[in-house]
Structure 1
């Protein structure tokens, strides 16, 4: 198979205050979420000047890939904000691209983290119409050393900022984006992929961090109506439970994320940090890979797996596919927020 381009697939985010509400309407389109709820979420963005860091992080990642020697034309398209994927696909068609490799800024399986990107690609190609390039999505990378090792180093660095005299009462807490239980417990060949992969990543990061701390995997960034069950416990509830168990300090590692975008900054650096302060817990948040050279090189290696049939670099044992089985990771049933 000949591939003639690379496209970065991401979520997108506002870059000025006037972008915030239109962006949020894109995120929840078709879900019946009331404007007042969007206005509440918008305040998280306004707290940071109406700018999400994610778009700049994508620009930085593309620049790092160029410097690392990825020898393909590089493109970038988002799900929810400019540059929108359909505009990028149209530009690729006009540039004569016929078959690109797509890299999504999510390491894991599941609907929102994987299959929805396939849907984004199909929708963009349908909108562009004849001549739209084929886009083959690169595999998930939750257990690639280029993803695991930067997280492990970040855990070590965060731990070094806490009081070593309280190490016996320090705990390591991994976080990822919560999802509805109906999505997490999907039956079939890919059922439970998201949670299983996250547990494997947590174990791999813990082992390579040499932290020798007890650890937990918990959840953050829950949304949607309260009557719909989501993965729990939430990070804030978990911090309260740990404080009640005599834990004095926590290292929080957001292994569910590849960069420090707004959900990391708001949910962990603001809300969880405030919860820890109220509880009297020492708190250190580990960084995400971002443009760590090992992560950047990982992306080039994923490309070479497809272009040059290079062997996959993997630390885990769970199955992974280039092309997911039919019927995997169905979309959640949408309900209006109340």
Structure 2
């Protein structure tokens, strides 16, 4: 009979020895096992805006890969009849499948707050994650999600989004994804207009960050790369107690100011706060300050005439306030075709 490998001292050490410990996120063991330390439960979408004033629904971005997104539509902003800023959001979670999801309670709550406060339509992307998929899959999914959103493929986007006022946003590892997606947009030649970058405590991963990853994406945050960014503005927020995460965010902001990019960069430093504070301390003073900064950033210098022109690009009457308001207030008229959004299998440990 073959002996159980885990019964040997070396096997037991591999099972119990932690090689990577990201506080409040994940534990990576020597044998490759990964555990999510904090992962909030999944919550369903609802087209009833309820007390939040934000209707939500899920959509499939790519059936072949299973990439999906949750859309957050602020109904009070829709009633004005004006087109809304479009925020394509990439959740954090240390790029680990056992950590977080666009459909989890934590990020559903945050995206709802962002949509309501900023008066913007938010597309929160559910991208593929390691260890089931290579890190590159997340970045490919993010790029496909941006192209999908920019094409206004969903009815909510078609009738309500101002694609010329698109923001790429993310926190933690999602900030890394948002930045790299902007870089990719600058090189792809697609007609995608990115107004700004919103990076909240961005964690820029280095090559070989996990045992199963043999290679990373190579160099990044270089002056030449930053100079080609397609966006006109950027907001970088860092938490004082974020240690290495904070310094990487500061480094990016400094390089943006020191290269030939020519855009406007704003850095927001949250004193006394730790990484992920805006998610796990929703009522803290730091969270409120960050949200106020984001709302001001998204709504800065909105081109009213551009929004009015966009209004004429869709069928007559669709964006009229009298037509839109009842369809979203009672949930009976703005019904999109239901979709079966793929859910990735979530377990406490992924081998």
Q: Give the shorter-chain TM-score range.
A: 0.3 to 0.5
- For normalisation by structure 1, the TM-score amounts to 0.32
Q: Which has the higher contact order (CA 8 A, sep 6+)?
A: 1
The structure where helix makes up a greater share of residues is 1
Where is the strand percentage greater, Structure 1 or Structure 2? 2
